[in-house]
Chains A and B, each alone.
Chain A
Amino acid sequence: MATRTLRQAQDTAFETDRLYNVRRIFGQSIAYVLLIISILPIVIGYAWVIIATFSYRTEGLLPIDAEGNVGGLILDNWSFLWENKFPSYAPIWHVTLNSLIIALSMVVGVGTISSLAAYALSRMNFSGRKSFLSLTLILHAFPSVTLLIAIFFVLRFISGMPGIGKWFGYNSVGGVALVMISLDLPLGVWLMKGFFDHISWDMERAALIDGASRFRVWWEIIIPQIKPGLAALSVFTFLTGWNAYLVPATFTIGGTTANLPVYLKQFMSDTAPVNWNMIAAVGLFQLIPVMIFFLFTQELLLNIYSGGAKGGA
């Protein structure tokens, strides 16, 4: 009896009711339309950067040439690559190198330090383990930008230390990298611990019984097994370092220590009148690695930015 009513109901819902299919298609179309409208600002923003890069100037999304007519594609905006358009700053390649140094130190620094700590948290039983783990969680959600004021004094202090002061103090690329590595550590430790927890113990246990040291086990057995996880963390930290604006802008005072975003921001506010099209070209130049990761590591980005991002903005 019950099955029969069920089947009847199914019939009305799925088969005999042709309206159902019409409604379904209608509902789907609305979903598509809404989604397309919602992403329009992003698409328009990117479209402008690309159009502006190759035109004399733009009005809205239209390229305008020197005579004021629509059209005219030029490459002049890319001259920043070989001429120093912004004399108070270092040449673009120096600035790009700074950006790369920050991004790569984050990949290496966060990767190494957090996989060391995460290994201990995942595999070893020691006093203080639980408290450090919950601390990691708290710090992961903690609004670390509120600490920038105090970190300013920490960096000033490091500046005064002999030897390392010059490399890791205030107004140095190393100092910026160090701060950025530290701020991303809670996330890194937390993610890496998750990877370690999912790796089988068998090989490791065998190695330990055979008398291998913990460090050797970590390096020779565990690390090779979490390469996919390390790759995901690396993409995330590389992008964070490459895109960094707030930390470098706060702890450097321009000149030779600027990275690309700081350089671009200065370019936007210092040159008068602002050459928006060259700014777009510098922006597109900076977007190249971002776009490469966007196109080739989408799934990974979607996964990591939910567990990883600092939320909000």
Chain B
Amino acid sequence: MTEAAMAVKVREPTSRWARIRATLEAWGFMSPAIILVMVFFFLPVIILFVISLTSLSSSNFGDPLTFIGLENYVRLFRDKFFPKILGNTFRYVFLTLGFFNVGLALVLALLTTHINRRAGFFFRVMWLLPRITPSVIYILMWRRIAHQPPFGIINQLVTPLGVEPQYWLFKQPWLFVILVNGFVGASFGMIIFTSAIEAIPKDYITAAKVDGASTLQIIRDITLPMIKWPLLFVTTYQTLSLLASFEYILLLTDGGPGLYKTEVWSLTAYHRALKTYFGHNQWGYGAAWGFVLVGIGIAFAVVYLRVFRFNELVQEPKIDVL
């Protein structure tokens, strides 16, 4: 801050014109970013809202827009599959979050910080693989793992144990939807929790050990309370990302098998508006589904800024040491 103040002093505008010039210069640096953010963030939010108030679909594309008020939103709540999709969304978000993005992430962070440093690093890097593997190939791997006999890898592994071979992906679509997303999602929390755990002063742990605390007691009474904020941050951040993400479900089950078996909210918006089963794009209706998520996203943004003092938390895991 002092440095910043000094630097500003260097160019302290002497006159009003100089100040205006400095501001223009700054906006010059900013302009490419601002234009793209305007065109691909702001404008889309407005377009999405406007379209959600119209009956725009591929059957009347090109005609003047017909505004139908909030009809799309009413229709959304009356949709025959609304309860099912809502239930699916909750199931997807909470099970993935609980078991993987926060649960497993925490377990992995604890395990990898309790073993040899280099081994811990190795396992964390391995856990990064699902995230950097192209989604199409990643799903291809899982589909072969859960494939029908004689091709499936699970079948090959469990048949000697006396388990009936079957088409696992078809039989247990939800299990695999959650596994597939969870294996990608766990690494985010794992990395953040790891740096939080490593930042806990060693004295605390040593003191507890001296007093005869067991590993589990140390985790419960020292580690967990000290990483409370990162835990909360990862939970909210990942709730929002999961709520909006559908790429892996799209590739794995495409909402099936059967009618809306694994269809979640964001996938519904995408299906209705852009990739329909029957080739009829209902942009207006799909936009209504999408805009509900945008509203939730904006609500979350307020939470980040108010509750988390976002700046400090996001700054922490950033690459500052290379």
- Name B's interface SS: helix
Q: How far is the CA of A191 from the CA of B183 in the complex (A)?
A: 25
In angstroms, Cα B31 to Cα A119, docked, is 12
Interface stretch, picked from B22-30, B79-87, B220-228, B255-263, is B22-30
A306–B192 CB distance below 8 A? yes
Bound CA–CA A45/B112 (angstroms): 22
Q: Which residues of chain B have C-beta atoms less than 8 A from A137's C-beta? A: 304-305, 310-311, 314
Asked if B51 CB lies within 8 Å of chain A CBs, one says: yes
CB-CB nearest in chain B for A29: B115
Give the CA-CA distance A194 to B311 in the complex, in Å: 11
CB distance from A110 to the nearest CB of B (A): 10
Residue with the highest number of chain A CB atoms closer than 10 Å, among B44, B101, B127, B128: B44
Residue B111 lies at the interface, judged by CB distance under 8 Å to chain A: yes
Instruction: Kindly report which residue of chain A lies nearest to residue B27, judged by CB atoms.
Output: A126
Contact call B238/A312, Cβ cutoff below 8 A:
yes
Known: A13-B212, A48-B145. A59 touches B151 (CB 8 A): yes
Q: Decide if B198 is an interface residue (CB 8 Å cutoff).
A: no
For B167, the chain A residues whose CB sits under 8 A away are none
Given that A39-B123, A60-B157 are known contacts, is A246 also in contact with B128, CB under 8 Å in the complex? no
Please pick, from B34, B43, B131, the residue contacting A309 in the complex, using a CB distance under 8 A. Answer: B131
Task: Check B135 against A245 for contact (C-beta < 8 Å).
Answer: yes
Contact of B215 among A27, A116, A143 (CB under 8 A): A27
Interface status of B70 (Cβ within 8 A of chain A): no
Point out which of A60, A143, A150 has the most chain B C-beta atoms below 10 A from its C-beta.
Answer: A150
Closest B residue to A14 using CB positions: B209
**Cβ–Cβ contact B157 & A147, under 8 A:** no
Q: Is B134 an interface residue (CB 8 A)?
A: yes
CA distance A135 to B30 in the complex (A): 13
Residues of B within 8 A of A146 (CB): 48, 244, 266, 269, 290-291, 293-294, 297
In chain A, residues 227-246, which have Cβ atoms closer than 8 Å to a Cβ of chain B? 228-229, 232, 239, 242-243, 245-246
Q: With an 8 A cutoff between CB atoms, is A164 at the interface?
A: no
Looking at the assembled complex, report how far the CB atom of A173 sits from the nearest CB atom of chain B, in whole angstroms: 16
Choose one: B39, B107, B137; the contact of A264 (CB below 8 Å).
B137
Closest to B317 in A: A306
With A49-B141, A132-B30, A182-B36: A148-B270 Cβ-Cβ less than 8 Å: yes
Query: A residues 23-70 with Cβ under 8 Å of B?
Result: 27-28, 31-32, 34-35, 38-39, 41-46, 48-49, 52, 58-62
Residue interface bits A126-165, CB-to-B below 8 A is 1, else 0: 1111001011011111111111111111100000000000
> What is the total of A-B residue contacts with beta carbons within 8 Å?
361
The answer to whether A294 touches B138, judged by C-beta atoms less than 8 angstroms apart, is no
- Residue of B48, B135, B140, B294 with most chain A CB atoms under a 10 A cut-off: B140
Bound together, the chains give a CA A299 to CA B32 distance in angstroms of: 31
Chain A contact patch, size range: 35 or more
Q: How far is the CA of A125 from the CA of B184 in the complex (A)?
A: 40
Segment 76-114 of B: residues with Cβ below 8 Å from A? 96, 101, 104, 107-108, 111-112, 114
Which residues of chain A are within 8 angstroms of B301 by Cβ–Cβ distance?
138, 141-142
Whether A58 contacts B137 in the complex (CB less than 8 A), given A9-B210, A313-B185, comes out as: no
B231 at the interface (CB under 8 A from A): no
Q: How far is the CA of A124 from the CA of B7 in the complex (A)?
A: 9
Contact with A along B235-265 (1 / 0, CB 8 A): 0011011111111101100000000000000
Contact partners of B212 in chain A: CB under 8 A:
9, 12-13
Query: Cβ of B37 < 8 Å from any Cβ of A?
Result: yes
In the bound assembly, the distance between CA atoms of A283 and B133 in angstroms comes to 10
- From 286 to 321 in chain B, residues with beta carbon under 8 angstroms from any chain A beta carbon are 286-287, 290-291, 293-294, 297, 300-301, 304-305, 310-311, 314-315, 317-321
Cβ contacts under 8 Å, A242 to chain B:
134
Check if B144 is an interface residue, CB within 8 A of chain A. Answer: yes
Report the minimal beta-carbon distance from B40 to chain A, rounded to whole angstroms. Answer: 4
Q: Which residues of B contact A119 (CB under 8 A)?
A: 29
B142 lies within 8 A of A116 (CB): no
Q: With a CB–CB cut-off of 8 A, which chain A residues contact B161?
A: none
Query: Is A28 a contact of B136 with CB atoms below 8 Å?
Result: no
Is A16 close to B, CB under 8 A?
Answer: no
Binding site for A on B (CB under 8 A): 3-4, 6-8, 10-11, 22-23, 25-27, 29-30, 32-34, 36-37, 39-41, 43-45, 47-48, 51, 96, 101, 104, 107-108, 111-112, 114-115, 119, 121, 123-138, 140-142, 144-145, 150-153, 155-157, 179, 181, 183-185, 187-188, 191-192, 195, 209-212, 215, 237-238, 240-248, 250-251, 266, 269-270, 273-275, 283, 286-287, 290-291, 293-294, 297, 300-301, 304-305, 310-311, 314-315, 317-322
Q: A145-B246, A183-B40 are in contact. List 4 more A-B contacts (CB 8 A).
A: A13-B212, A46-B141, A264-B140, A300-B319
23 A–B contact pairs at CB < 8 A?
A9-B210, A9-B211, A48-B144, A48-B145, A52-B144, A59-B150, A60-B156, A113-B33, A117-B33, A139-B37, A141-B237, A147-B48, A147-B290, A149-B286, A198-B320, A204-B7, A229-B319, A298-B128, A301-B132, A302-B191, A303-B322, A307-B319, A312-B238
